[in-house]
Amino acid sequence: MRFLTAKRRHRAARPALLVLALLLMGALYAAVAPAARVSADTGNSQQVAEGKALFQVTCSSCHGMNGEGTSQGPSLVGVGAAAANFQVSTGRMPMANPGAQAPRKQNTYTDEEIAALAAFVASLGPGPAIPTEDQYSGEGLSPDELAKGGELFRTNCSACHNFEGAGGALPNGKYAPSLVGVSGQRIWEAMRTGPQQMPVFSSGALPDEDVRAIVGYLDTLHAQPSSGIAFGGLGPVAEGLFAWIIGIGGICLIAVWIAAKGARAR
């Protein structure tokens, strides 16, 4: 305690105390305050009202005051809470500027705001709801199911998203984004709602257990080690580039060195 006493008039003592107090308050608040509700409960009229207010501020300039759509943006009637949750939580909506495709970016909404928006969009018409974990989780699948997920992925997804989900090009500046690090919930929502250029894979075509297999396959694939530097999983173009730069380039440097180390005739 002598230390505290001695240092109580130190220059940094007051700011440090302030920070400590703030930390304490924050911790107390986190412990005492009620847990945030993140589910889009369409029956909760207050949440819908909040969502509508938020929607009219941040979305309506393109999608219309009631989500009916304008020349700038499509109607949101019937797209479902899953679509709103996917678009907003990945930062794709609201769109920063009209381009070929809305890019993934930093999401600035809180979970409650997204839930409110989703609840409002869900109230416009029936559509896919936000999935529960047992619908999309890739955990606890058998090797055979994972292998089947790989087969489903290569049949349905790899044509655009590349063999390991590294992404690929689509016409006119559009693209299929990389799936590395994308959560199972996002993949489920994207498959069911078909955001941007993506087609809808309905539960009639690919039931939830198939989505789980695909998610499980991708998670396992991305977790396994590669046999060396993988160059972003882009295939032979990247391999060829490095064969030239590192292989031929490196060997040529050594050739220059060997040629310079000659014997001089005396």
Q: Where along the sequence are the contacts to another protein (CB under 8 A)? A: 100, 143-144, 146-148, 150-151, 154-155, 158-164, 166-173, 175-176, 217, 220-221, 224, 226-231, 233-244, 246-248, 250-252, 254-256, 258-266
Work out how close the CB of 92 gets to another protein at its nearest, in angstroms, rounded to a whole number: 16
Structure tokens at 188: 């489920």
Of residues 112 and 145, the one with the C-beta less far from another protein: 145
Element (H, E) at 3: helix 2-7
- 3-state SS of 86-106 is HHHHCCCCCCCCCCCCCCCCC
Of residues 2 and 261, the one with the C-beta less far from another protein: 261
R_g (Cα) of the chain, nearest Å: 27
161 annotated to a ligand binding site? yes
Q: What gap in Å lies between CA 75 and CA 67, rounded to an integer?
A: 6
How distant is the alpha carbon of residue 178 from its chain centre? 9
Of residues 18 and 256, the one with the C-beta less far from another protein: 256
Work out how close the CB of 251 gets to another protein at its nearest, in angstroms, rounded to a whole number: 6
Of residues 13 and 256, the one with the C-beta less far from another protein: 256
252 annotated to a ligand binding site? no
Long-range contacts of 30-37 (CB under 8 A, 24+ apart): 36/110, 36/111, 36/112, 37/112, 37/115
Summarize the annotated binding site for heme c as residue ranges. 59, 62-63, 157, 160-161
Summarize the annotated binding site as residue ranges. 59, 62-63, 157, 160-161
